[in-house]
Amino acid sequence: MSVLLLHFWLGTPTGTHWDYSLPVTEGSVITHLLLIHNWWPQYAITLNHPYWSIGVEYQLYFLFPVLLWFQNRLGPWKSLALVTAVGYLFWRLSFTTHVGNPSVFGSSPYYWALFSMGISAARLGTPQPGHIAREVSLLDKLAVGLIVLMMGLWWGVECMRYHGHVADPITSFFVGLITLLVLLYGRQIGLFALVSKLWPRRFLRFAGERSFSLYLVHAPMLQIVWLLLVHPLHLHSAGEQVLLEMLAGSLLSLLIADLFYRCIEQPSHEWSRRITRP
């Protein structure tokens, strides 16, 4: 869809966010098809700039058996500490050697840690029937405490060295850790019940099921709204432009995402279940 829109409609720079997706070259198309575009700075955010993370996610699936092995071997907490240390070490090496596109839109090996947090949350938050929950061992606490301390010190050094600016990958660790704790203990502190009262569960499920489709289509839809609606109106206030862009763009993105989910994503899931069913 992005290639067609770029070819017929969205291939000209307009001074908006969409310019990050341009220009589109043979290299960008080929690397996107192979899902390795995030390893090259000149290709990472072309075609459709949110797509940079799709390559990271695809490559993480190749590591999934290794991460799962660590989980089974070491447990959720020690494996989380180990994978975090290894992932951030690789990112730092990439940043130092300038190999593998170390930018925030690049190879992003620190996402190994965030992915491992997700596995830990799934395993700890949904125990199997008959499973007896074990207390967190002292070694688990030491492992997690050590990695949190190291990341905290790194964060502090970055703050002092760069006058308050901290690299996004370091901040991402703490965002992921807080999210993990919320997922594990949110029910106990009543957070989930509060969210259910504020947002109907049916709406949350609807939004969650279509979130990936929304991520894929939102950027070109926002650009279409800019070209067809916001720009022709010549609104004088930047605030009015942003408000109209967000309202109309969100509505169009949700509609297209729902269509994409029903026609492409959902049938793909059903087909995948059929071919993997024993």
**pLDDT surpassing 60 at residue 149:** yes
What pLDDT, in 10s, does the model give residues 76-128?
Answer: 899 999 999 999 999 989 888 888 898 889 989 999 999 999 888 888 876 55
The torsion angles phi and psi of 140, rounded to 5 degrees, stand at -60, -45
User: What is the rounded average pLDDT of the residues 66-82?
Assistant: 90
What pLDDT, in 10s, does the model give residues 204-261?
Answer: 888 889 999 999 999 999 999 999 999 999 898 889 999 999 999 999 999 999 999 9
Confidence at residue 42, expressed as pLDDT on a 0 to 100 scale: 92
**pLDDT surpassing 90 at residue 32:** yes
Q: How confident is the model at residue 1 (pLDDT cuts 50, 70, 90)?
A: confident
Q: Where are the domains of the chain?
A: 76-127+134-199, 200-278
Confidence at residue 128, expressed as pLDDT on a 0 to 100 scale: 57
Poorest-confidence range of 19-33, 59-73, 195-209?
195-209
The CA distance from 261 to 247, in Å, is 21
The torsion angles phi and psi of 166, rounded to 5 degrees, stand at -120, 135
Poorest-confidence range of 82-91, 131-140, 184-193, 214-223?
131-140
Confidence at residue 165, expressed as pLDDT on a 0 to 100 scale: 75
Q: How confident is the model at residue 8 (pLDDT cuts 50, 70, 90)?
A: confident
In angstroms, how far apart are the furthest CA atoms of the chain?
64
Tell me the average pLDDT of the chain: 87
Confidence at residue 99, expressed as pLDDT on a 0 to 100 scale: 86
Confidence at residue 273, expressed as pLDDT on a 0 to 100 scale: 85
